[in-house]
């Protein structure tokens, strides 16, 4: 059981480049989310999904796109990277019912935009 897997672990982009952060979970969780964490800050919700084919915006969605074609995968796309998107990105998943101990986080993806 791998849990929540994020790739890549580290990435450097030039301003204007595009890329996709991958997130996969093998726990058959309905809910998946993407958060970003800036230095000295807590995580902020970018986008989330309550099931395959359903996505919605979180607190800081601008500059990011998501899709949920399968239950397992929830990729985060940066269409035109900006220095303000330099951050650590965390993917999370959880089942439909439950509280905090049912939320699983990936190990993070460190993104630098120069």
Partner 1 sequence: GESVGLHLPTLSVQEGDNSIINCAYSNSASDYFIWYKQESGKGPQFIIDIRSNMDKRQGQRVTVLLNKTVKHLSLQIAATQPGDSAVYFCAENIFQGAQKLVFGQGTRLTINP
Q: Residue numbers of the site for partner 1 (CB under 8 A)? A: 31, 33, 35, 40-45, 48, 50, 58-59, 90, 92, 94, 96-97, 99-101, 103, 105-108
Closest approach of partner 1 to the CB of residue 6, in Å:
9
Nearer to partner 1, 75 or 108 (CB): 108
Nearer to partner 1, 14 or 100 (CB): 100
Please count the CA atoms within 13 angstroms of the CA of 98 that sit on its side-chain side.
12
Nearer to partner 1, 48 or 64 (CB): 48
- How many Å apart are CA 69 and CA 52, to the nearest integer? 6
Closest approach of partner 1 to the CB of residue 23, in Å:
12
- CA 79 to chain CA centroid, nearest Å: 14
Q: Edge to edge, what strands does the sheet with 64-66 contain?
A: 4-7, 19-25, 76-78, 64-66
Closest approach of partner 1 to the CB of residue 80, in Å:
26
């Amino acid at each position: 059981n791998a849990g929540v897997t994020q790739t890549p672990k580290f990435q450097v982009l030039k301003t204007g480049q595009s890329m996709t952060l991958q997130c996969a979970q093998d726990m058959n969780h309905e809910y998946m989310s993407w958060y970003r964490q800036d230095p000295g800050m807590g995580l902020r919700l970018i986008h989330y999904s309550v099931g395959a084919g359903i996505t919605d915006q979180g607190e800081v969605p601008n500059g990011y796109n998501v899709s949920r074609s399968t239950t397992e995968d929830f990729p985060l796309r940066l269409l035109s990277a900006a220095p303000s998107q330099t951050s650590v990105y965390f993917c999370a998943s959880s089942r439909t019912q439950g509280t905090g101990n049912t939320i699983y986080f990936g190990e993070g993806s460190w993104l630098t935009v120069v």
